[in-house]
Copies of this chain bind each other. A is one copy, B any other.
Amino acid sequence: MKAKLKTIEGSVVAPLGFRASGVFCDIKRLGTGKGSDKGQKRDLTLIVSDVPCSVAGMFTTNQICAAPVKVCVSRVAKGIAQAVVVNSGNANACTGKQGMKDALAMVRLTEKALGLKDGYALVGSTGRIGVAMPFDNVKAGIAAAAPLLGRSEAHAAHSVEAIMTSDTRPKQVAVELKLGGKTVRIGGMCKGAGMIQPGMSATGARPAALPAGLHATMLGFVTTDAAISAKALQAALRETVAHSFNRITVDGDMSTNDTVLVLANGLAGNAKITSAKHEDFAAFAAALQHVCLELAKMIVRDGEGVHRVVTVRVTGARSVADADAAARAVANSALVKTSWHGGDPNWGRIIDAIGYSAATVVESKVDIGYSAPGSRKILWSLQRGQPTKATFKQLCAAAAPKEFDLHIRLNLGKGEALMYAADLTEHYVEFNKGDVTDPTTLGG
């Protein structure tokens, strides 16, 4: 049974007891202004709860892992936190011992500024890799952000602006639902547009069977006033991320900094969800899934240079791992992605990518078709390995919309997987080649 969800305003400050702020402290050292009032994008966010929270997190499985991720992995393991400090403009990745000192100093300064217990602040960073943090700027940012905390729409807007890098749009959503007669709220914001193919686990450790090429910096921060234990929250988040953030790809590159954090402060007053077996767990988990999936899809739609979004749905694989491998091969193929950009259905490139994936494929069994998003009215281009009578014009019409679903049936078993994928455009290349004469254009 799915709980009824109602979309509400307010992003991360929609749940009771959460405040946020976002300021400009010139982390990129542009040196061209002194605050967002001078037209500069904000670059440091604080989110804080009035009371300590249960916390859960999922982190990049990249072996090269940024200092803020390492700090969060060990703190989230304790299950309790109260605030998050986030900066954009510098990833604090590949910054060695100094990077770790800086990440720890960020959480300590935040705890001090907000009057929190030691260990209660978490940290996220995104931006260029391998550049030392401009720590004086960060320090000034935290000092400036702390007195500005609040719960208005402007506070939500400032905090989401400050985590954006190449994002062209803020990404935020909030919902409310009833749990045992009490109104519970979940709010979230995220950033990410390039270096996007998250493969997150609860500890940052790689699972034994790592799908080939799991690879954004994507940062996601979710708040809720639900009462839920850290263990139950982690269980809900693990399943949620597997079906949201870990199903997206913009460019196939997994970041050093991917992080999703959820803080639950219990102020809604619902009966505390203490495990996955609790009667309200499923409804809460479904709502969390809704929030994370909406955020994840926003990342793909706002991906660097993205013109078209394609949901790649693989069914009938021998295993889930096979379905995942086939879906990722298609979703990350340069030739498939450029054909999508051109509005070219090109199933030849699609079946080529399936064929070189790690999935078992039998040419004479493969079906490939196109539909509107979520529709079951599929126009098949290939059935059992043979071109159908669909005309090139019909297939082009099916691949023309800004969003469509690509259906791939391997007809070998019951394994299923999907990926939210994007086209590859000249704008992606132009943006990411940057301009070496102006290093501030060079992304992480």
CB-contact partner of A129 in B348, B386, B430, under 8 A: B348
Docked-complex contact B251 and A352, CB < 8 angstroms: no
Which A residues between 385 and 440 are near B, CB-CB below 8 angstroms? 385-387, 392, 396, 424-426, 428-430, 432-436, 439
Q: CA separation between A434 and B396, bound complex, in Å?
A: 12
Given contacts A130-B347, A334-B428, A429-B429, contact A62 B212 (CB under 8 A): no
Which A residues between 84 and 141 are near B, CB-CB below 8 angstroms? 91, 93-94, 96, 128-130
Q: How far is the CB of A182 from chain B (nearest CB, A)?
A: 42
Stretch at the interface among A38-46, A50-58, A156-164, A356-364: A356-364
Docked-complex contact A426 and B424, CB < 8 angstroms: no
Q: How far is the CB of A110 from chain B (nearest CB, A)?
A: 25
- A275 within 8 A of partner (CB): no
A443: nearest chain-B partner, CB-CB: B335
- A253 within 8 A of partner (CB): yes
What are the interface flags for A344-371 relative to B under an 8 Å C-beta threshold, 1 for contact and 0 otherwise?
1011110111111010111110100000
Q: CA separation between A251 and B106, bound complex, in Å?
A: 41
Q: CA separation between A396 and B63, bound complex, in Å?
A: 26
Chain B neighbourhood of A349, CB < 8 A: 129, 195, 253, 444
- A194 within 8 A of partner (CB): yes
CB-contact partner of A356 in B62, B385, B425, under 8 A: B62
- A35 within 8 A of partner (CB): no
This chain: copies in complex: 2
Chain B neighbourhood of A335, CB < 8 A: 194-195, 251, 253, 432, 443
Docked-complex contact B392 and A253, CB < 8 angstroms: no
Q: CA separation between A443 and B336, bound complex, in Å?
A: 11
Given contacts A195-B335, A358-B212, A360-B63, contact A352 B426 (CB under 8 A): no
- A215 within 8 A of partner (CB): yes
Q: CA separation between A333 and B426, bound complex, in Å?
A: 16
What are the interface flags for A207-242 relative to B under an 8 Å C-beta threshold, 1 for contact and 0 otherwise?
000101111000000000000000000000000000
Docked-complex contact A433 and B62, CB < 8 angstroms: no
Docked-complex contact A338 and B429, CB < 8 angstroms: yes
Chain B neighbourhood of A213, CB < 8 A: 212-213, 356
Q: List 14 A-B contacts (CB under 8 A).
A: A63-B356, A63-B362, A64-B355, A94-B351, A96-B386, A130-B348, A214-B356, A252-B334, A253-B352, A254-B355, A342-B432, A344-B434, A392-B439, A396-B436
Which 6 pairs show the lowest CB-CB distances between chains A and B? A129-B348, A64-B355, A342-B433, A338-B432, A254-B356, A251-B334
In the complex, besides A64-B351, A130-B387, A426-B426, 9 extra interface pairs with C-beta distance below 8 angstroms are A63-B361, A64-B354, A64-B366, A210-B358, A215-B356, A334-B428, A339-B434, A344-B436, A349-B444
